[in-house]
């Protein structure tokens, strides 16, 4: 069943109401950004956003919840979890008459790819390398080591570590 209305606010509200009914095991709350909190068993969606942005975002976070995504240990695992969540979000969306295009999914995944690329680039020589552990990288080219922040919405700071 497609959700349609001339009022984005009303449409988003009715869409969220339907999700609350269909997925009573989760709490859905408006917030500043889309987010799945396993600890609170809560899905936060961007309040005041355009209808499609709310729908796609909440479905993506719902997919993380349904897939049991609680944390990740490295950059590649994060990217894999994001891809799996978008795949399930697209399937769930079909039940609501929504088609999440592959272009939209790839655009969203590109934000992660760009973030991962920036984190993994050696601040000394510019070579991209694999993580040493969740917060550290080691350049195989010039042997620089650096530390990064864990948050995805944090600027990709690369703090060089002294040998």
Three-class SS of residue 135? coil
Q: Is residue 3 included in any domain, yes or no?
A: no
39 and 89, same domain (yes or no): yes
Task: Among 79, 98, 116, give the residue marking a domain's end.
Answer: 116
46 and 109, same domain (yes or no): yes
pLDDT of residue 134: 87
Q: Please check the confidence at residue 155 and state whether its pLDDT lies above 60.
A: no
Range of the domain at 34: 8-116
Whether the CA torsion 108, 98, 28, 67 is positive or negative: it is: negative
Query: Would you place residue 162 in the very low, low, confident or very high pLDDT band (cuts 50, 70, 90)?
Result: low
40 and 110, same domain (yes or no): yes
- How does pLDDT run across 94-113, given as a tens digit for each residue? 999 999 999 999 999 999 99
CATH number, domain of 65, equals 1.10.10
Q: Which residue has the tokens 């042997």?
A: 143
Task: Among 116, 133, 153, give the residue marking a domain's end.
Answer: 116
Query: Would you place residue 161 in the very low, low, confident or very high pLDDT band (cuts 50, 70, 90)?
Result: low
Report the number of distinct structural domains present in the chain.
Answer: 2
E strand or H helix at 104:
helix 102-120
pLDDT of residue 8: 41
Residues 27-38 have a mean pLDDT of: 96
Among residues 57, 99, 101, which one has the least CA distance to residue 82? Answer: 57
Q: Is residue 1 included in any domain, yes or no?
A: no
* Integer Cα distance of 8 and 28 in angstroms: 18
127 and 110, same domain (yes or no): no
What pTM did the predictor assign?
A: 0.84
Q: What 8-state DSSP symbol labels residue 162?
A: P
Q: Is residue 2 included in any domain, yes or no?
A: no
78 and 12, same domain (yes or no): yes
List residues bridging with 43 in a β-sheet. Answer: 28, 36
């Amino acid at each position: 069943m497609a959700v349609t209305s001339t009022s984005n606010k009303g449409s988003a509200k009715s869409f969220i109401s339907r999700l609350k009914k269909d997925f009573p095991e989760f709490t859905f709350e408006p917030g500043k950004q889309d987010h799945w909190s396993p600890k609170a068993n809560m899905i936060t969606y961007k309040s005041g956003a355009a209808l499609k942005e709310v729908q796609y975002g909440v479905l993506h976070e719902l997919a993380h919840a349904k897939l049991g995504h609680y944390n990740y240990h490295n950059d590649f695992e994060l990217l894999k979890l994001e891809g799996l969540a978008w795949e399930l979000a697209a399937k769930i969306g079909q039940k609501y008459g929504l088609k999440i295009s592959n272009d939209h999914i790839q655009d969203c995944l590109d934000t992660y790819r760009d973030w991962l690329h920036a984190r993994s680039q050696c601040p000394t020589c510019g070579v991209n390398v694999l993580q040493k552990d969740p917060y550290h990288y080691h350049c195989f080219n010039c042997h620089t080591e650096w530390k990064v922040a864990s948050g995805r919405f944090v600027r990709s700071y690369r703090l060089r570590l002294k040998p």
